[in-house]
Structure 1
Amino acid sequence: MASDAISPLLTPAGWELLSSLGPYREADSLKVNESLRKAGHSPELVAAALTQSRLRAKAEAKFGEFAHQMLFTQAGLEQATRLSIAALHAQRFTTAGITSVADLGCGLGADSLAMASLDINVTAVEMDEVTAACTTINLMPFPHAKVVCGRAEDADLDGIGGVWLDPARRTTSTSGTTRLFDPEAFSPPLSFVEELADRGLAVGVKMGPGIPHEAVPATAEAQWISVNGDVVEAGLYFNQLARPGIRRSALVVGPSGMNEITSAVAYDPAAQDAEIGPVAGYLYEPDGAVIRAGLVADLARSMGAHLLDEHIAYLSSDDPVHTPLARCYKVLEVKPYNVKALKAWVKASRIGVLDIKKRGISVTPEELRRQLLTGSGKGPNKATLVLTRIGEDRVAIVVEPHGW
């Protein structure tokens, strides 16, 4: 977003117009545009105000009511941390007694806002001028927060006790943006984060949830977080921010609140020694954060459940075990994976809505669903199929969600 898309709003008249707009509705945007233009507002100001109104509406999912007093860029909003998760980051610093933090690569300032809300003195550093201008507005309610436009690597850390980083994990070219996977290709790279930690600072960094375990520094605590089933980040914490006795964890945020499973040791694929057994009365699909953290075997042991296959993240048990860390299904039937036989079953069972889950089998659920439902008569019943591999056998497990 160019600076001329923000600057019209950084005037009393521009801010007043933006604040006067009601809830954004896409269907009304053209009519509102024409009305504002007829009222004498410049095309540039009208475009900027409507863009911000649209972004604010979209931002409510991450920022709640705060969104109505903030400024956004499209790219910044897509990458911004949910305010509820930013609050967890901020709590790490207050728990450690850190009162001054540099938020390097602060983006639109979600983490800075959360820290400032806890009376932490925040220096928010952002390289992009337009984003820094938005962040300055977003942090205006907090006199102990300031914004610096510059590179994270050049930030003055004198008198700073803690550092938070959210490195850029995409590269931009004429064809668009591309996701980066090598932590050393991030901006700033993971090695820079480790250098800060080596200086004794309380350091936390937000990484993508796909970071490989071998890339996690031996000196860090790693925490994978999911929100309503969506794995949103892997946070690495050093020095005072790392919790004693925890090397990795999965924090699952959902309808039942926050639930966590932890391990005191680094991930070792050879040490995933949970019991292996057949499909029993109930099947469990561990949350994505549990899988990313390499804690499936730990979860199985804590539940008294077993794995179906040592390489696949499905668990089973004879009796239902309640856990917010996995989705539970009652097993109705176990079939060999055979498309022709499954198609006949769909037709005979008068199934019109079919949910397909799979792990360990090279099949596209959407394509298989089309195959199975074509010519089935589109019956009134619903069904859920779990496709997986147990050893050398491919199976189709008919299940139904188990509520509590």
Structure 2
Amino acid sequence: MDLDAFDELLTPRGRRALAEAGELAGADPVAAATRLRRTYDAALTSAALTQAALRERATAKFGDDARLMYFTPHGLEQSTRTEVAEHRATRLIAAQVPAPGVVDACCGIGGDLLALARAGCTVEAVDTDPLTAAVARANAEALGLGDRVTVRVADAAAVEPERYDALFADPARRTSRGRTFDPMAYSPPWPVVLGLVSRARTACLKVAPGIPYTFIPEGAQAEWVSFKGEVKEATLWTGAAHEAGRRATLLPGGHTLAATGVEAGTGPAGRYVYEPDGAAIRAHLVGEVAELVAGRLLDPMIAYITGDAPVVTPWATRYEIDDVLPFSLKKLRAALRERKIGNVTIKKRASAVDVERLRSDLRLKGNESAVVILTRIADKPSVIICNQPSPI
């Protein structure tokens, strides 16, 4: 879809085509296109069907809003889930004047600027791509936020963050070869982003959860966010209201854990094994989680915690240990057969075992279920057989 095709979607005729395409969701693509072509030209038919399909996919991230919004394939892939964007907007508002002026230096299709505007911010947004900027502008209008949002085509490097109460930046993490994990390959590049941050009173910078710690600016607060157990992203906060350090946040519950410097000890397996949430692991808060469950590490280099008490915490999934064995396919197969295990959830950390091949090689039979954890204990390949997760 190019800019001309998108502009036509915003006309009364284009809106009718999009509405009809939405009614055909799930139909055979050829049949849907044939039906629309009876009324509309090929370009509008293609744009409407593409947009209807993107709206369907976007429901997982944007809920009911997706049915009113517009997307590009890359824009949808890189956009922020509504719950995460709302969390960030709430934090930013709490640290600012009642209705802060925010500049969104890389707005994409507008996932974050919409949350900021709904939270009460006045947002000026820029994007280098004319189509993407047009989509963001249309989304603000579609959701009734046009009076709070201005979107223009511009390079993030030209933004003057000192003119605003806060800077928000979500540099693109995709190149012509696909997704990149190197901040120096972000667009705009990392030095440009840091230059903007250094001039802002308050800055909120969205980055990949795997960002190397060496790229985190001195004095910044780094927050890793998990949504329903899946780490979504990291956010770097700067400004007087944000104390330097590391923290993790769990959504939708809103639980937050900050670094205290506590270090977990190591020891033998107890009755339970705890798997910390990925956000806590990324934020190097395994010691803090171990303290919450009165536990210890099975191995000093691996984020599995063991303990003797069934502690309830949102920060870790708890499994009851049935047995701990040195890793051996033959012994593991025998142990599972003895327990009549026919269904296993296999988890691993610091193990080179191919999970799918192992599942096939186990040749399981039986009606019972178990969790098998492949890891290293005292630098030796080990397997932990557990019951299904205890309810939390």
TM over 0.5: yes
1:23–1:258 distance in 2 versus 1, CA, 3 Å: farther
Select 1:397's aligned residue among 353, 373, 384: 384
Alignment partner, residue 215 of structure 1: 215
Q: CA deviation at 1:95?
A: 1.1
Task: Within 5 Å, give how 1:159-178 maps onto structure 2.
Answer: 159-172=163-176, 177-178=177-178
The residue that corresponds to 1:268 in the other structure is: none
Local SS of the residue matching 1:139:
helix
Q: Secondary structure at the match of 1:181?
A: coil
Q: Which amino acid aligns with 1:282?
A: Y
One-letter amino acid of the counterpart of residue 381, structure 1:
E
Counterpart contact for 2:126–2:156, Cα < 8 Å: yes
> Distance in 2 between the 1:193 and 1:241 partners?
20
Is 1:365 matched with 2:369? Answer: no
Aligned equivalents of 1:24, 1:36: Cα separation in 2: 9
Q: Distance in 1 between matches of 2:241 and 2:61?
A: 24
Are the structure 2 counterparts of residues 321 and 370 from structure 1 closer, same or farther at C-alpha, using a change threshold of 3 Å? Answer: same
1:136 Cα deviation from its structure 2 partner: 1.2
3-state DSSP class of the match of 2:235?
Answer: strand
Any conservation in 2 of the 1:23–1:57 contact (CA below 8 Å)? no
How far apart in 2 are the matches of 1:218 and 1:264?
18
- Asked whether the 8 Å contact 1:204–1:241 carries over to 2, the reply is no
- Match of 1:201, SS? coil
TM-score (norm: length of structure 1): 0.90
Are 1:388 and 2:384 an aligned pair?
Answer: no
Task: Measure how far apart 1:70 and its partner are.
Answer: 1.0
Distance (Å, rounded) in 2 between the aligned partners of 1:367 and 1:150: 50
Aligned to 2:234: 234
SS in 2 for 1:26: coil
Percent identity between the two aligned chains: 39
What is the rounded CA distance, in whole Å, between the counterparts of 2:158 and 2:30 in structure 1? 44
TM-aligned CA distance change 1:379 to 1:50, over 3 Å: same
What amino acid maps onto 1:369 in structure 2? Answer: R
Does 1:108 pair with 2:109? yes
Number of residue equivalences: 386
SS at match of 1:48: helix
Distance, in Å, in 2 between the alignment partners of 1:264 and 1:107 is 36
In structure 2, how many angstroms separate the alpha carbons of the residues matched to 1:362 and 1:28?
43
What corresponds to 2:130 in structure 1? 129
Alignment correspondent of 1:333: 323
Q: Give the letter for the 1:252 counterpart.
A: L
Letter in 1 for 2:152: V
Describe the shift of the 1:85–1:348 C-alpha distance in structure 2 as closer, same or farther (beyond 3 A). same
Asked if the contact 1:24–1:54 (Cα under 8 Å) also holds between the matched residues in 2, the reply is no
CA contact (8 A) 1:203 1:241 kept: no
Instruction: State which drifts further: 151-160 or 119-128.
Output: 151-160
For the 8 Å contact 2:83–2:251, the answer to whether it is kept is no
Shift of 1:230: 1.3
Q: Distance in 2 between matches of 1:385 and 1:29?
A: 42
Contact 2:295 2:306 in 1 (8 A): yes
Counterpart check, 1:195 vs 2:182: no
Instruction: Name the amino acid aligned to 2:368.
Output: N
1:70/1:286 Cα in 2 relative to 1: closer, same or farther (>3 Å)?
same
User: Is residue 186 from structure 1 mapped to residue 174 from structure 2 by the alignment?
Assistant: no
**Separation of aligned partners in 1, 2:162 and 2:312:** 49
- Taking structure 2 as the reference length, the TM-score comes to 0.93
State whether residues 14 and 44 of structure 2, in contact with CA within 8 Å, keep that contact through their aligned partners in structure 1. yes
1:144 aligns with 2:148: yes
Q: Secondary structure at the match of 1:219?
A: coil
- The letter of the residue matching 1:337 is F
Q: Is the 8 Å Cα contact of residues 223 and 293 (structure 1) preserved in structure 2?
A: yes
Aligned-residue offset at 1:182: 2.7
Alignment partners' CA distance in 1, 2:36 and 2:24: 14
Q: What's the offset of the Cα at 1:28?
A: 4.2
Partners of 1:158 and 1:394 in 2: CA distance: 54
Moved more, 323-332 or 344-353: 344-353
* Stretch moving more, 316-325 or 13-22: 13-22
Does residue 352 of the first structure (1) align with residue 342 of the second (2)?
A: yes
**CA contact under 8 A between 1:59 and 1:77: conserved in structure 2?**
yes
**Residue correspondence of structure 1 range 245-394 to structure 2 within 5 A:** 247-254=245-252, 257-263=253-259, 273-373=263-363, 376=364, 378-394=365-381
Across the aligned residues of Structure 1 and Structure 2, the Cα RMSD in angstroms comes to 1.9
Distance in 1, matches of 2:272 and 2:101, equals 49
Rounded Cα–Cα distance in structure 2 between residues aligned with 1:31 and 1:178: 32
Task: Flag the 1:64–1:195 CA change in 2: closer, same or farther, 3 A.
Answer: same
| Equivalent position amino acid for 2:128 in 1 | M
CA distance in 2, matches of 1:86, 1:178: 24
For the 8 Å contact 2:84–2:251, the answer to whether it is kept is no
- Whether the 8 Å CA contact 2:162–2:201 is kept in 1: the answer is no
Q: Which residue of 2 aligns with 1:269?
A: none
Query: 5+ residue gaps in structure 2?
Result: none
3-state secondary structure, aligned to 1:6? helix
Q: CA deviation at 1:157?
A: 4.4
CA distance in 1, matches of 2:162, 2:240: 18
Q: Show CA shifts across 1:194-240 (max 9, x none).
A: 32333242111000000122221121000000111211111000014
- 2:239, 2:114 → 1: CA distance? 23
Q: Secondary structure at the match of 1:146?
A: strand
